[in-house]
Structure 1
Amino acid sequence: MESTGTKKTNHLLPWLNAMVTEPYFLFHFLSFFSYVVARTSASEFLSPDSSRRLLRRLVKEETWEAFIADTLLFAKGFLIAVSLILDYHLTLCYMVGFLVISILTQQPAYHGLGNANQLTPLQLETFLTEGNTSRFWLVEFRALCSSTCIRTSRFFPDLSITYSNKNISFGIVDLGHFPNAAEKFGISLGVSMGQLPTYILFENAVEVARFPEVDFESKSSSPTITKNLLCRHFELDRRLLEYVSGK
C-alpha cells in the first residue's frame, strides 16, 4: 500500500515534467533566472507589505497551474519595475523578451477530461433528448483561444470526478471547433462579453441554470471562476446528497 508521501510524489512528478517541457513555463523561468546575472539581489525594492499582499493573492489559487501563472505575471511586473530603476536598456530588453514569449507561446490548457465527455453539439443534443440518459447534464462551453478557458480548464474535470453519478453527467463542448453552436445556446464568442467559458445545467433537456448569467443591463463583471463558485452556483453538493439518499 502506497504511503501518503509516495502518492504526493507520484502526483507531483508529472506536474514538474510539464513545467520543464512546456515552452510557456520554460521560457518564462529562463528569463526570470537571467535576472540573477543582471542583479543578484533587489529585495529592498519590495516592501514587506507588498510581499504579504502578493502572497495572499497567490494562495487563493486552486491549482498549481494557476498559481504558477499568477507568479509569472507578478514576477514579470517586478522585473520590469526593478530593471527600470537599474537601467532602462535592461527594461527594454525584458519587455521585448516578454513580448516575444507571449507571441510564440501561451499557457498550456489542462487536457484531462476526468469523468466529463468531450461532445460535439449533435452528440449533446442527442444525449439531452434521449430519455434513458442522466436527468441532469452540466456542460462546459469553452474555447481554448480564450485565456480564461485555459486558466479554468482543470476545474471542470475535477468537479466531474467528484460529482458525476447516474443522476448527473458532465460534458464539454469546444466552441473553438464548433463556433456555430454558440448562437444556439445563447453564448457570445466576443472577448469583451466575458462569456467564455459558459457553464449550463440542463434538466431533462431544459436549461435550469447557467454561469455566467446573461444580463445585458448589468455592466458589472462576473466573479472569478473557481471550483467552489461553480459547486455553489449549481448546488452540486445538494444534488449529490439527493442522489445518495435516493431522492
Structure 2
Amino acid sequence: MTFITPLILFLKNSHSVRKALTPGLISSLFMSVLFILVRKVPPVCKHMPSFEENECTFDWREVEIGMFLLSIIVIKNRASVSAEQMITSTLMYTKLASAVLFYRLDPRFAIGYCLLCVFRLWLLPDYFVDGPEELTYFSDTTLQESLEEDKRVTWVVLFYTTWSPHCHSVSPVFSELSNEYATKYLKFAKIDIGKYSKAAKTYGVSASTMSHQLPTIIVFEDGKAVDWRPMLGSNKKFVKYVFTEENIKRDFGMNKLYDESLAKCKKFKKGKKEE
C-alpha cells in the first residue's frame, strides 16, 4: 500500500507532466539514491562501515528508516496539486533520510553529503522546463492598464511569488488551464507580487512569508474583481484552498466563463460584419 499510493498520485497528475526533466532534477534524483548506491553497489559497499556481517546489506535500522520515509512521502503528497510538486517533495524527504542514514555510518559522511546537496542546489537548482502556455506576465502598471483597456475581456490572474513552493506547485496547473480555456475574451495572466508590491497592496494580496494568500487567483470582469481564492472565512481569516485543476474549474466556473467568452466572440464578430 505504501508504494501504491504514490503511484496513484503520480498517475492522477501525470497529465500535467509535459515538461522535461532538467539537469537539476536529474542530479537531485542521483543525490536521493546515493546512499542506496554506496550501500548496495560493489566494490564501494565493501569499504563502507556496516552493522551486519555482509557489508552490502541493509541492516534493520536502515530498513526501518526507509519504511518511515515512504510513509512520510505518502502523507505529504496527499495534498499535491501537480506531479511536479509530488516529485520535488519526494526527492527532498529522500535526501533528508539519506543524510540521517549517512550520519549513522559516520558523521563525516553526513557533513560531506549535506555540503554536496547544498552545492548541487546552488549550481543546479530544482525546476522543470516550462511547457506551452497561454499566459500574459503583468507588472503592477500593465495589469491595471489591461483591465481598463478592454472591459469585455475576462481576466484570470494568478498572484504569486518566486520564493513560495505553493506558488511553484500551482504554476503548471495554471498553465494547463490557460492552454485549455484561453480565448480572445478569456485571458490568463500571472503577476509576481514579490517583485511588484504595489499590485499586492492594490488588490489586497499579502506577499509576506507568513501569508495564507499565496498563491491567489482573482477573476476580473468589466475591470473589477468578481471572484477569488482563497476566500475569507467567518472568522475573518483566509480559508485554506487546494489549487487542483478540478477545484479551480469547479469553483471558478471555468466552463461557464469559456462558454461566455465564445458567445462574446460570435457576438462581436457578427457586429463587425453588420457594420
Which band: TM-score by shorter chain? Answer: 0.7 to 0.9
Is 1:155 the counterpart of 2:160 in the alignment?
Answer: no
In the alignment, is residue 121 of structure 1 matched against residue 140 of structure 2? yes
1:66 is aligned to 2:71? no
Alignment match, 1:15: 20
Query: In the TM superposition, what are the counterparts of 1:138-177 in structure 2 within 5 Å?
Result: 138-177=156-195
Shift of 1:142: 1.9
In structure 2, the partner of 1:232 is: 250
Residue aligning to 2:64:
45
Structure 1 residue 27: Cα displacement: 3.5
> 1:35 maps to which residue?
35
The alpha-carbon deviation at position 156 of structure 1 amounts to 1.4
Shift of 1:91: 3.1
Distance 2:36 2:70 in 1: 19
Separation in 1, partners of 2:192, 2:87: 25
Aligned length: 231
User: In 2, distance between residues paired with 1:105 and 1:56?
Assistant: 28
Match of 1:75 in 2: 94
Residue deviations 1:183-241, cap 9 Å, x none?
A: 11111110101322221111101111112225694567623332222222212123234
TM-score by length of 2: 0.68
Tell me: CA distance 1:129–1:114, structure 2 relative to 1, closer, same or farther (3 Å). same
Amino acid in structure 2 at the alignment position of 1:188: S
1:6-40 residue CA offsets vs partner (Å, 9 max, x unmatched): xxxxx989614x2xx2x3x2442332343234312
Q: Secondary structure at the match of 1:199?
A: strand
- Structure 2: gaps (5+ residues): 1-15, 41-56, 268-275
TM-score (norm 1): 0.74
Cα displacement (A) at 1:122? 2.3
Question: Percent identity of the aligned residues?
Answer: 21
Q: 1:86 to 1:221 in 2, by over 3 A?
A: farther
How far residue 76 of structure 1 moved from its aligned partner, in angstroms, is: 1.6
Alpha-carbon distance between aligned partners in 1 of 2:109 and 2:237, rounded to the nearest angstrom: 40
**Unmatched runs of 5 consecutive residues or more in structure 1:** 1-10
CA contact (8 A) 1:45 1:82 kept: no
Residues 212 and 110 of structure 1, relative CA distance in 2, 3 Å threshold: farther
CA contact (8 A) 1:110 1:150 kept: no
Moved more, 163-172 or 212-221: 212-221
Instruction: State how 1:95-106 maps to structure 2 within 5 Å.
Output: 95-102=114-121, 106=125
